[in-house]
A and B are shown apart, each in its own frame.
Chain A
């Protein structure tokens, strides 16, 4: 695979001319050529180059590698022959967002027909040229071939004729059995650029004449600028402007460091914050109070909680989960140039169309006058679905019109002004019959829904459909338990809450999967066996498939991954001295089925008082487009989840207390498990499902379950303190 050298970022980097010239040049070049362009995703240039638009943001999940594989498969070309261009929002690209682990599935639906349609048109062009029926022709590696006569025409030769063919509405897609590319392991397209430092992330955008900006933001949420004194800041050498924007005061300078020093010298008076007394310890208590009573029911099976009146025995536990930051290594940033009647934005964004919309609002320009370039992302994890940082950059660039400006958030800015994972408290209850069978289930969750991008209304908070959407991992509990009731209590907080890796799932799955383990312990059953039983392994009357809301869970697939992980990990065999095993599983959005077995041991000291020695993962994600990428996402999810067992975000007096990797420590190489195995379970599901998020959810509970076994003490909150 090659990256198209014409993508205009590289053009700008390579020329010393004006940025706008770069843009115009790229557009002009496209106009004069007459490529075969059957749809927005693909064009074949007259010189035979196949150019594909990548409609997802690359943040390490490998879309610039896996998505071309899908197109190449249907088009029947070598992946290496595809040039890629990052798609920019515009009339052809109105929905470019990247999130929810939906990239591979969403693009599968688009790129396959796109490739297949182009292939059909190329075949039709060859058939016309040779006067034969299209059905007698085949394609092979970028050419149409006529078997009997051995005639052959390359796609390049056929491109201009193909352009005259009608676009088939329902092109014939390849049968799964004939895949040659999908399902093979492929290394990352961007690898060579990454190891040589050529890869350009948002923060690496360099445009001639650009300035650099940092923003002084309110130390407490809800404060506004009352006044500021820029005298000292302006004396810092290199500082050019000190400007008030809606979110604070921007210092614009010749370089990032001067801007940061200017901000240190700046004096800002802030209005009193309405949230100046907010404290996360008090907030946790409010969450605990909120689950004392059931709140809004989001799922009820059979008798619901009323079933607890008839049970022989009830077992209960309360779990809590902290606020957590994204802490991606590339701090938030955005570069904007506002010219006369037009503007260009370079953003490491997960929501290009969101940035486009924000730019039209802030600049008052039509969408057609604004180009948004989607840059490589140095870690996204959901944070870059927000456009708060883009908006700040746009506000600043509007005030320094004619000069490109790059806004950079410092590490501390990035951590303190995050859109966090919400803290939550969970109360779970299990009811048993005379034979100690689990017959009643209750899961109450109290938390704060997303409020950073839009604040939920009063109506939202009492609408079970909306509220259910905030309770992933609670309402889609996969086990069969005769009566069950799940509820969610909204507890508002001034802390900005936004999508975090696996969104609402990790806390809910943590509580649920640890509680299942407690039940196994309480009733002296093997936690694997209990899960299999609850998934209907011994009881044909348990429906293998069930629907909850609009999701469709197949218990057999979850059983299969559990059985696989048990076998591969040697679950039934004794574990080494000083270690214990733990198990947990989950179905993410009814699409990716995943289970872990881990082995842990105790450590004497350190921020993490234990060590994960071995991780075995089994998963069913339907079609694994790039198995290498699948295994990498598992490793990444494991380490993310492990970090979450080590650190938390706390708030005192309305301010986040952490600012660096020292006080919000993430897992380092010497804490990484020595062995992480991934086993992909073959599946009849002929669609590919995501893994960036699913790999996160059941890992922490598997570790906690192992630790509880090792220490004899149940752990019910994160970060882990032994």
Chain B
């Protein structure tokens, strides 16, 4: 099986895995980084979202062989102390219900704010509109997203 280097949260790992293995399972099962969630494996729920060179992608749809020399950020690496403006906004608005969808939501928002520092409510809805939260924490996600944008979540 091929060995490949992959950079996750600033750390370079050399991993032996099948080329076709989705990054999701490399993270969860090979590296034990379980913050990235499995929800559908089909690219429809968004719970496996991670940042690839800063842009949100679905790790269940990304083959290990395609990770190349890109750099990835998972929820564990969004900030060292859990105090990224988005994380702080999330806590301020007490967003989570079960919380399972939230790493994906947070990273999708991080990606949006990077390209658009002050999105409108409609733009936030559009960016998150293919992320499932079965618990229905959406009203608070909206509030937290606006708060995060205001407090520098795009930096």
A residues adjacent to B (C-beta < 8 A): 59-61, 187-188, 190-192, 194-201, 203-204, 206, 212, 237-238, 254-258, 260, 327-331, 376-381, 408, 410-411, 628, 632, 635-640, 643, 660-662, 666-670, 672-674, 676
Contacts and interface: CB of A to CB of B under 8 A. Distances in A.
Contact of B129 (A203, A628, A670, A676): A670
Main secondary structure of the interface of A (DSSP, over half): loop
B74 interface: yes
B41 interface: yes
B98 A410 contact: no
Given A204-B34, A668-B129, A257 B100 contact: no
A255 B1 CA distance: 14
A636 B132 contact: no
A254 B21 CA distance: 12
Interface residues of B, number: 61
A376 B35 CA distance: 13
Ranked 8 nearest A-B pairs via Cβ: A197-B35, A639-B136, A378-B100, A60-B98, A197-B75, A194-B99, A60-B97, A204-B34
Contacts of A676: 139
A199 B25 contact: no
Contacts of B154: none
A348 B42 CA distance: 23
B129 A636 contact: no
Contact of B29 (A255, A632, A662, A667): A255
A194 B102 contact: yes
B29 A257 contact: yes
A196 B35 contact: yes
25 contacts: A60-B96, A60-B99, A61-B97, A188-B96, A196-B76, A197-B75, A197-B103, A201-B100, A203-B37, A254-B29, A256-B28, A327-B134, A328-B98, A329-B100, A330-B39, A330-B100, A410-B41, A640-B134, A660-B44, A668-B128, A668-B130, A668-B132, A669-B131, A669-B138, A670-B129
Given A378-B98, A668-B130, A661 B44 contact: yes
Nearest to A381: B134
Interface string B96-137: 111111110010000000000000010011101111111111
Q: Which of A195, A632, A661, A667 has the most CB atoms of chain B within a 10 A radius of its CB?
A: A195
B153 interface: no
B65 to A, nearest CB: 14
B40 A256 contact: no
B134 A329 contact: yes
Given A411-B40, A672-B136, A676-B139, A330 B22 contact: no
A381 B94 CA distance: 21
A327 B100 CA distance: 13
Contact of A257 (B25, B94, B103, B142): B25
Contacts of B96: 60, 188, 190-191, 194-195
Contact of B18 (A198, A204, A237, A632): A237
Nearest to A199: B99
A145 to B, nearest CB: 33
Nearest to A201: B100
A256 B25 CA distance: 7
Contact of B21 (A196, A257, A329): A257
A331 B100 contact: no
Given A237-B18, A635-B136, A661-B132, A255 B25 contact: yes
A189 B32 CA distance: 24
B82 interface: yes
Contacts, number: 183
Contacts of B100: 201, 328-330, 378-379
Contacts of A201: 37, 100
Contacts of A256: 25, 28-29, 38
A197 B76 contact: yes
Contact of B97 (A192, A632, A670): A632
A260 B94 CA distance: 36
A411 B40 CA distance: 5
A192 B91 contact: yes
B82 A638 contact: no
Contacts of A188: 94, 96
A197 B129 contact: no
Contacts of A636: 97, 135-137
B140 interface: yes
Given A197-B34, A411-B45, A674-B121, 10 more contacts: A59-B98, A191-B94, A192-B91, A195-B75, A376-B99, A635-B139, A635-B140, A640-B136, A661-B44, A662-B44
A611 to B, nearest CB: 12
Nearest to B144: A195
A331 B99 CA distance: 14
Given A60-B96, A411-B39, A411-B41, A195 B102 contact: yes
Contacts of B44: 660-662
A206 B134 contact: no
B1 A237 contact: yes
Nearest to A642: B136
Contacts of A237: 1, 18
A635 B130 CA distance: 19
B83 to A, nearest CB: 9
B90 interface: yes
Given A197-B75, A329-B37, A379-B98, A667 B42 contact: no
Contacts of A377: 98
A488 B100 CA distance: 38
Contacts of A258: 18
Contacts of B74: 197
A638 B78 CA distance: 31
B152 to A, nearest CB: 16
A329 B96 CA distance: 13
Contacts of A254: 29
A206 B32 contact: yes
B94 A255 contact: no
B98 A196 contact: no
A668 B22 contact: no
A199 B102 CA distance: 11
A229 B73 CA distance: 41
B98 A330 contact: yes
A196 B75 contact: yes
B91 A195 contact: yes
Q: Which of A187, A329, A638 has the most CB atoms of chain B within a 10 A radius of its CB?
A: A329
Q: Which of A327, A378, A666, A674 has the most CB atoms of chain B within a 10 A radius of its CB?
A: A378
Interface string B72-87: 0011101100100001
Contacts of B42: 411, 660, 662
Given A196-B87, A668-B131, A670-B125, A661 B97 contact: no
Given A190-B96, A196-B75, A661 B45 contact: yes
Nearest to B17: A255
B14 to A, nearest CB: 17
Nearest to A187: B94
A511 to B, nearest CB: 23
Q: Which of A198, A199, A200, A673 has the most CB atoms of chain B within a 10 A radius of its CB?
A: A199
Contacts of A639: 135-136, 138
A181 B124 CA distance: 35
Given A187-B91, A331-B38, A638 B136 contact: yes
B141 interface: yes
Contacts of A200: 34
A364 B82 CA distance: 45
A190 B134 contact: no
B39 A329 contact: yes
Contacts of A206: 32, 34
Nearest to A636: B136
